[in-house]
Amino acid sequence: MNSAVEIHDSRVTEITNEDGTVIVHFQPAYHHRSEGRPGFDSGTCWTQDARLIFEDAATSNNFPDWPCDIMDGELIVAGERHRNVIPVPLDVGVATELRLVCDSAHSVTIKGQRVRLELIGKPRYAEEFSPRKPAA
């Protein structure tokens, strides 16, 4: 089973920065599971709290008031772009960048040299997922 967190349907409750460790707190993260490509192919959706932890990291841009439902985003791992998804599992020791669009006035960028995703607690079933078919 393949798995990914969908950035768009996730909620960030805060972003903390302590001594160069930046933590993005998702409460909840929207989690896709599929035999194919999660978020693109049919599968199931779950919600689960998560932390995305960046080491040797810095943040930039204009933070919103937390909590915030994320409108859009991308994760770039060693130059590989993941549009609107965070792969699960994720634990890499390479240059990584997360871009979050919170609303029309607020966006956040986090850059770090090591990043890992921690899923917290038990996942909660949300719904079945079927991709939309293009209009004829």
Model confidence over 7-35: pLDDT tens digits?
998 999 999 999 999 999 999 999 999 99
Number of structural domains in the chain: 1
Asked if residue 115 is part of any domain, the answer here is yes
Asked if residue 134 is part of any domain, the answer here is no
pTM for the structure as a whole: 0.91
Residue type, 84: N
Model confidence over 52-89: pLDDT tens digits?
999 999 998 788 899 999 999 999 999 999 999 999 99
User: Taking 90 as the threshold, does the pLDDT of residue 39 lie above it?
Assistant: no
Rounded Cα–Cα distance for residues 42 and 131 (Å): 6
With 0-12 / 13-18 / 19 or more C-beta atoms within 10 angstroms meaning exposed / middle / buried, residue 103 is: exposed
Asked if residue 135 is part of any domain, the answer here is no
Domain that holds residue 50: 2-129
Residue type, 34: S
Asked if residue 15 is part of any domain, the answer here is yes
Strand partners, 81: 76
Asked if residue 79 is part of any domain, the answer here is yes
Asked if residue 62 is part of any domain, the answer here is yes
Q: Which two tokens stand for residue 86?
A: 């965070």
Asked if residue 81 is part of any domain, the answer here is yes
Rounded Cα–Cα distance for residues 1 and 49 (Å): 20
